[in-house]
Structure 1
Amino acid sequence: MKKQQLLRNRKSLLIAIPILLLGIALLVSFFIFREKAVEVTTEKSFRKEVVHVVTATGKIEPETEVAISPDVSGEIIELPVKDGQQVRKGDLLFKIQPDVYINQVEQSMAQLNLAKAQSLEAKSRKIKAEDDFRKASLLFREKLISQTDFLAAKTNADAARASFEASSYAIEQYRSLYDQNQDRMRKTFIRAPIDGTIIKLNSKTGERVVGTGQFPGTEVLGLANLDSMQVEVEVNENDIVNVRKGNPVAITVDAFGDRIFRGVVHEISNSAISQAAGTQEEVTNFSVKIRILNHMRLLKPGMSATADIESIRVKNALVVPIQSVTVRTPQGKKAARKEDKEPSEKQTREIESIEGVFIAKNGKAAFRKVTTGTADNTHIIVLSGLKAGEDVVSGSYTAITSLLYDGCSIKTPKR
């Protein structure tokens, strides 16, 4: 009897041991091969005012800047201004030696007077020739002179009239030359065309300068109105469509640290500025000029500045963090995971087909298709597919872009 009991116990033991080993193996496999939860951070979707900012860099410059070059050539004999000096419109900037131009005026005056004297003489000859012709006409009608004498008188009268008319044209010619030489002499005195400040002075007293003519002359100095300043920036072609005249601008200048200067867009170029044209690195920008409103004469031409142009402003917009928006496969298919095999080009096009966010709910990540709008530096507007107050996965970047998929387990750090 004891022997049978021992055999039954041994048989039960032989059956229980494999079952126990199988259970242990299944338990170990569960812990080893079970899906690990992806650690993420979340933020609630909420509403706020979104301001889309276009950032560009450029240089401070005056709105009105004039390069002063003389119209006539010669030696500078007076230069009463200094760099940085303020001048009023009409003030003398510099004077060129006028002796040559004075001589030209006197010479043209003499030629004009000579032409006037010659015109008086021609007028006298004309009057006498016309009187002789009148008398010859009377005598010819009475047949007291021959036809030859009549024609001679007529020819003399015509020649005298032509000579007088020519002398009148000569007076106009020499008067024009006289006026031109007088104008050149006046231009030896170069005066300020606007109220402003001397921002550069390139020449000194005693230097010879070349006047403007068929070629650029010598730029003696630069004059600018520093009461009206602007910053000229280049905006990329993708952003220029959002920039409008009147857009408010926040401007920071390197020399003034974090101080904000306020401005407004007042001019947008219609022609593009291309860099590295014809290459893969080609960039197309457009020039935008921004009037600075509160510079208080602190800014100087040439300073480096950064302009944040407020192009679009949307109030009470539903937003999520920018990094929360990603792309995934059509609903029902898993996205490519980090440990998966590298997808083919065709599979990649299928995978990156839907824009959406991951919603955190009950320890799971649910992919939600959304439609997005404009963005600011931190958040992007969600136009459809989401409600305010929902928990949206906001990090990490690796988790959002590659690890998460619809229905995967997630965990959030304890707060």
Structure 2
Amino acid sequence: MKKVLLGLFIILFLGLSGGLGYYFYKKSNTDPVVYKTEAPFETEIVKKTVATGSIVPRKEVQVKSQVSGIVQELYAEAGEVVKKGQLLAKIKIVPNMVSVNNAETQLQTAKLNFNEAKRELARYEQLYEQKVIPEQEYQKYKADYNLKREALQAAESNLLLVREGASRKSGQSSNLVYSTIDGMLLDVPVKVGTSIIERNNFNEGTTIATVADMRSLIFEGKIDESEVGKLKENMDLLLTIGAIENRVFDAKLEYIAPKGVLEEGSIKFPIRAKVLLDEKDFIRAGYSANADIVLDKRDKVLAIKESMLKFDKDQPYVEVETAPQVFEKRVIKTGLSDGINIEVVSGLDKKEKIKVPDANIASI
């Protein structure tokens, strides 16, 4: 029994000795670790924030009719460039029978009053010529005749307006719709035969056309409250429009709202920027866009990748190579960062190499 136990012990000992020997053999033949290094570099660092919004015309108006009725003619289509005062549509007036009846009654009354004043003036004119009445009394009847004549003309114009939307005295028609500004027709939402409502104090009326100046565009967006304090007017913006690829447009910040609005659980502040366009540029209204707002910028500064930084009690440092694969801790002073690269103010030289954290390769 003792011989069996002794044999097992010897076999176990030899097995452990062989395993340890193999482990140390492999360990001695493992290639040494070689750490990657990178050198500082000169670059441009831009710190920016992003605002989302859309491109809209600075001047956009809705053209409405002054009378109710049915669209009889349309003289322009969406996409056309129009001038101020250009005829856009003609409205066929459907007269209100109550209004027509009142206007006709007023006209008949005005005619009766005028005819009576005319007869009285003719009678008193003869008396005046015969020196029977003084001139003062004659002038009174003449003034009354003139007033009744004006009232008759006003009643005739009123009836014409109610029936046809045109004034004989002014020579203008209220059933004709004209463009109020120079610009492009963005939309003509009505068709020939569409019934429309006039613009008045009680409703906005039916929109006949939407006209906008497409040469003067602005970016309207919103920015988070955490960033709004860093903004100021006349800052540069870089606009990226989703519908226009491989193109960045310049813009100038011109307005920051003094009051924020609650949106999706956070306070955001509306902003507005002027879009700077070339003569050949054409951007459609309503495009969604992102605005990169430049908060700070450094040109040709020494920088490293921000991922290479390490911290010791909030003190940034890097590991600088002093000899091949020998590194020392070096505290540095940093400046502006764009989230990828960070400016090195002091503590590093352009020719020095820095250890890349958590990156190594096995040497061959």
- TM-score class, shorter-chain normalisation, is 0.5 to 0.7
Contact 2:242–2:289 (CA under 8 A) maintained in structure 1:
yes
Rate the CA distance shift 1:295–1:105 in 2: closer, same or farther, 3 A.
farther
Secondary structure of the equivalent of 2:95? Answer: helix
- Letter in structure 2 aligned against 1:378: I
- Letter in structure 1 aligned against 2:79: G
Among candidates 167, 170, 190, match of residue 203 of structure 1: 190
**CA deviation map 1:194-233 (0-9, x unaligned):** 1111111211011111223323322232211222223323
Matched residue, 1:303: 287
CA drift at 1:191 = 0.6
Which has the higher Rg, Structure 1 or Structure 2?
1
CA drift at 1:391 = 4.2
CA distance in 1, matches of 2:57, 2:242: 17
Secondary structure of the equivalent of 1:97? Answer: strand
Q: How does 1:240-251 map to 2 (within 5 A)?
A: 240-251=228-239
Q: How does 1:9-24 map to 2 (within 5 A)?
A: none
Secondary structure of the equivalent of 1:323? Answer: helix
Q: How does 1:208-357 map to 2 (within 5 A)?
A: 208-213=195-200, 214-277=202-265, 282=266, 284-294=268-278, 296-315=280-299, 317-329=301-313, 354-357=314-317
Rate the CA distance shift 1:356–1:120 in 2: closer, same or farther, 3 A.
farther
Matched residue, 2:347: 386
- Letter in structure 1 aligned against 2:85: G
Matched residue, 1:334: none
**CA deviation map 1:73-122 (0-9, x unaligned):** 2211121111211111101111222463895996598489579869979x
**1:100 matches 2:95:** yes
Secondary structure of the equivalent of 1:204? Answer: coil
CA distance in 1, matches of 2:39, 2:273: 39
Among candidates 308, 316, 319, match of residue 359 of structure 1: 319
Among candidates 35, 39, 44, match of residue 43 of structure 1: 39
Contact 1:59–1:233 (CA under 8 A) maintained in structure 2:
yes
CA distance in 2, matches of 1:218, 1:68: 9
- Letter in structure 1 aligned against 2:331: R
**CA deviation map 1:212-266 (0-9, x unaligned):** 3323322232211222223323222233333333333333333332123333323
Matched residue, 2:12: none
Contact 1:84–1:199 (CA under 8 A) maintained in structure 2:
yes
Aligned length: 297
- Letter in structure 2 aligned against 1:218: T
Contact 2:33–2:362 (CA under 8 A) maintained in structure 1:
no
Matched residue, 1:368: 331
- Letter in structure 2 aligned against 1:305: A
**CA deviation map 1:263-297 (0-9, x unaligned):** 332333333232123xxxx3534333341322724
Matched residue, 1:155: none
Rate the CA distance shift 1:107–1:324 in 2: closer, same or farther, 3 A.
farther
Contact 1:42–1:412 (CA under 8 A) maintained in structure 2:
no
**1:61 matches 2:24:** no
Contact 1:112–1:178 (CA under 8 A) maintained in structure 2:
no
CA drift at 1:411 = 6.8
Matched residue, 2:8: none
Rate the CA distance shift 1:283–1:64 in 2: closer, same or farther, 3 A.
same
Contact 2:223–2:269 (CA under 8 A) maintained in structure 1:
yes
CA drift at 1:69 = 2.6
Rate the CA distance shift 1:37–1:264 in 2: closer, same or farther, 3 A.
same
Matched residue, 1:84: 79
- Letter in structure 2 aligned against 1:237: E
- Letter in structure 2 aligned against 1:358: V
Rate the CA distance shift 1:41–1:74 in 2: closer, same or farther, 3 A.
farther
Secondary structure of the equivalent of 1:294? Answer: coil
Matched residue, 2:5: none
Matched residue, 1:194: 181
Contact 1:109–1:178 (CA under 8 A) maintained in structure 2:
no
Output the aligned Cα RMSD. Answer: 4.6
Rate the CA distance shift 1:276–1:256 in 2: closer, same or farther, 3 A.
closer
Rate the CA distance shift 1:111–1:190 in 2: closer, same or farther, 3 A.
farther
Contact 2:222–2:268 (CA under 8 A) maintained in structure 1:
no
CA distance in 1, matches of 2:44, 2:250: 20
Stretches of structure 2 that go unaligned for 5 or more consecutive residues are: 1-16, 122-143, 167-172
Stretches of structure 1 that go unaligned for 5 or more consecutive residues are: 1-20, 125-163, 330-353, 400-409
Rate the CA distance shift 1:369–1:233 in 2: closer, same or farther, 3 A.
same
CA distance in 1, matches of 2:112, 2:352: 99
Secondary structure of the equivalent of 1:270? Answer: coil
Matched residue, 1:9: none
Rate the CA distance shift 1:196–1:269 in 2: closer, same or farther, 3 A.
same
Rate the CA distance shift 1:112–1:301 in 2: closer, same or farther, 3 A.
farther
